[in-house]
Each structure stands twice: as structure tokens, then as C-alpha cells.
Amino acid sequence: MFKPTVLSAALAAALFNPLASNAADDQELAAIRAQIRDMKQSYEARLQALEQRLQDAQAATAQAQNAALAAAPAVAAAAAAAPATGNAFNPNISLILGGTYANLSQDPQQYRLQGFLPAGGEAGPGRRGFNLGESELTMAANIDPMFSGQLTFALSGEDTVGVEEAFVQTRALANGLNIKAGRFLSSVGYLNNRHAHTWDFVDAPLAYQAFLGGQYKPDGVQAKWLAPIDTLVEIGVELGSGASFPGNDRNKNGFGAAALYAHVGDDIGASGSWRAGLSLLRTGAANREFGDPSEHGGNLSAFSGRSRMLILDAIYKWAPNGNPAQQNFKLQGEYLRRHESGELTSSVASGASAGSYDSTQSGWYLQGVYQFMPNWRAGLRYDKLASNTPSIGLADPFPLLAGYSPSRRSVMLDYSPSEFSRLRLQFARDGSRPGAVDNQIFLQYIMSLGTHAAHAF
């Protein structure tokens, strides 16, 4: 029984071993196939995700580009039209500080230009002793591509604040034309549109004091054309309210003053340049009051009528090869002629009276300033006025208007440690009053703080 059993077991093992081996191989292959299938599905899913992300990114980029192109005109228009915000207000701000010490041999309260109708408080040498000069606070900025604006406050030593200038102007109209509106220093003559801190002497020429009240600054509009050629050719016209001396407030519509001027200039070689001009000013006055400082009774007189003025100006500048750093020189002069006609009223103790008034008066100055070494300059100036004898249809003799020819001689020396500071010593012999020469000594400082625009030629 043993042998058949063993044989049966051997036969069974021989028969079933191949079947078991085949079953194991099939399971392994199935597992491998399953892994490959899973990996394939995983990679396909990842590839699809990457392809979807790429498509989404490309679509977003295209959409953004299209939106930017579509919005560009609107953004540009909005930027041009948008008003300035608080953070966008960033003007150039400058402050001019000045002061003087004056030693005067004659009483400044009795100062007058003999033979001329008084122009108000702008004439004369000022007070004796230490004086805080007129300080200037200026703010200027571009408003938009078409306009710019400027505001200048004048702070006097008498604790008053006035508006020196407040205007808007175009930045660049076609063919050299520009327009300014507001209050501004008129461009008649040469010195008039220069602020006082840029003057070469402590005070204004006598002709400016007598005929323009120091400076003529109208409220109005100015149009100026600069020819697009190498030679300087400038033509301008101004229309104003007429409230500035030699006019006054006449409570009328329209314009009360008009000015017309032309300036030409050019270079002379590599070292010289020049400019010359002709200006006409027309205005009027209604009850322009004045008093005689030599009279203590407080009697007032007034002028009503027309005022016409002619101004000729010229300046020559020299600097070696156009470089003014070491040495430079300038010669400057102006001639002013004024004709006034109308009615003169006089208020005296015996009562008021009125009569005709007609006068033709003139004045001029000539000055030269030489920078003989860096930072140091010396200058000479001569002033002359001719009042002539006005025609007055009144019995009142008006001693203030008796014919006379005031004159003045001035010499100055100044030192500028930098372009922002200047110290000046000036001596003058002022013969504005008959029989009384006023010997004047001035010490002056001028300091500039902040950004300041370049000065004109």
C-alpha cells in the first residue's frame, strides 16, 4: 500500500507545480499592468492640468492686453482732465528776505520831487535807521500742459501783506505767442518787470518814482509774441483796469489802461549782447488825490484826466567769451516822457476850486555796473528829471508844482557770497528838493531761500 501512495503523491506534484507557477506569473503581470495603467492615468491627468493652466494663462494675458489697449485713451483723457489732488500740489516756493540801514541828512517825511504831482508812498528814500525791507514769498507751478501759475506776496516792514503778483499764463501757444492774466509787473520799459531784489541799487530811479509810482503793475491781461528767429524780436500788448498809478480806480466797465511795447536785441560777437525797446502807456485818473508834504495843514488836491507815457530803454552786457563768472559789465538806461491833461482841484481853507491842468514832463537815468572780480561789483548811477512849468488854470500858485529839475548821483559796492545772498553799501547825493541836498548812506542785505526762477536778460 505504501508504494502506490508515494507514487500518487509524486505524480500529483508533477502535475500541479506548473499550474501554480503559471498562476503566480499571471498575478505579477496583472500587478505590473495595473501600475502602468495607474501611472499612465496619473501622468495624463497631470498633463491635462498643465495644458489647462497654460491655456488659462494665455487667455488671461490676452484679456489683459486687450483691456489695456482699450483703456489707454480713457486713462490719458482722465489724466489730462483730472484735477490736482492735495498730494499733487508741489509748487516751487521761494522767500526773499531783505533789510536796510539808512542814514539820511534830510528829513524823509518832508521828501518830495519838486515840480511833480506826488505818486504816493512809493517815492522817497524811506525811513531813517534800521528798516525791515519788503520780503517776498512766491509760489509757482505748472498747472497742466497748457497753463502755469504764480503768486507773490509782498510783506512790508510795516506789518502789511499785499499781493505783488498773482497770475496764470499759457506755457506754449503756437508760433511764440503767450498770454498772461491776473496781476503782474508790466513789461513796459526795462526795469519795471524786475522784482526789487534783482535791482542793482537800493532804490528805484527817480523817473520810475515820479512817473510810475515805483513800479507799474496792472490787473489785466497781457499778450506777448516772440518771433521764431535768431534775433530777439518781442511785441506785447496789455489791457488793465487802470487802477495802478499813474491811473486810479475809476469804477468803470471795460479796461482803463493800455500798453504797447516792442523789444529787439542780439549778440555782439562772443562777449557782448544788447536789447532796446519802445513802450507806450495810456491810462487815466479820476480824483487822484495828493498832498504837499511841506504843508502841515493837510490840504488835499486832486487830478482828473488823461495820462500818456513814452518809454525808451536800452541795455548792453559784456562778459569775456560769454562767461560772467570772473568779470562782467552792463550799461543800462531809460528815458520816460509823460503828458497829462485834465482838471486840477484844490481844497484850501478858503474853499475848493478847480481849473485846467496840462503838463509835459520827462526823466531819465543811466547806470553802469562792473563785476571786477568774482562776487564783487561796483556801480554808478545818475538820475535826472525835468518838470518844466505846467499850465494850471487856478489862482492857487501850487508851490509844489513850481518848475524844477531834480537830480541824484549814486555809487554802490556789493558782495555776493553766493547766488542766494548779497550785501550792499550805497551812497547817494539826492537833489530832489530845491536848496537841500540829501546825503544818503544805505546798508542793505538780500537773501534768497528756496527754489527761484532764473532772472530775465
Pairing of strands 391-392, 407-418: unpaired
What string of H, E and C letters represents the secondary structure of 357-402? EEEEEEEEEEEEEEEEECCEEEEEEEEEEECCCCEECCCCCCHHHC
Residue-wise pLDDT for 245-259, tens only, equals: 999 888 888 899 999
Asked if pLDDT for residue 308 goes beyond 80, the answer is yes
- At 78 the pLDDT is 47
* DSSP code of residue 129: E
Half-sphere exposure of 403 (CA within 13 A, CB side): 9
Closest of 97, 94, 95 to residue 445, by C-alpha: 97
- The percentage of the chain sitting over the pLDDT mark of 70, rounded to a whole number, equals 79
Q: What is the mean pLDDT of residues 292-319?
A: 83
Contacts of 189 (CB under 8 A, 6+ apart): 261, 277, 279, 311, 313, 334, 336
Question: What does the block give as the cell for 60?
Answer: 488671461
Question: What does the block give as the cell for 373?
Answer: 572780480
Q: Which residue has the cell 504837499?
A: 292
Q: How many CB atoms lie within 10 A of CB 312?
A: 16
The enclosing H or E element of 225 equals strand 219-226
* DSSP code of residue 90: -
Where is average pLDDT lowest: 5-14, 256-265, 309-318? 5-14
Better pLDDT: 132 or 399 = 132
* DSSP code of residue 32: H
Asked if pLDDT for residue 11 goes beyond 50, the answer is no
Contact present, 139 and 92 (Cβ < 8 Å): yes
Give the CATH H-level superfamily of domain 93-450: Porin (2.40.160.10)
Domain spans, the chain: 6-79, 93-450
- At 313 the pLDDT is 98
- At 223 the pLDDT is 96
The enclosing H or E element of 57 equals helix 2-81
Mean predicted lDDT score pLDDT of the chain: 84
Half-sphere exposure of 225 (CA within 13 A, CB side): 9
Q: What is the mean pLDDT of residues 266-284?
A: 95
Give Cα 1 to chain centroid, integer Å.
135
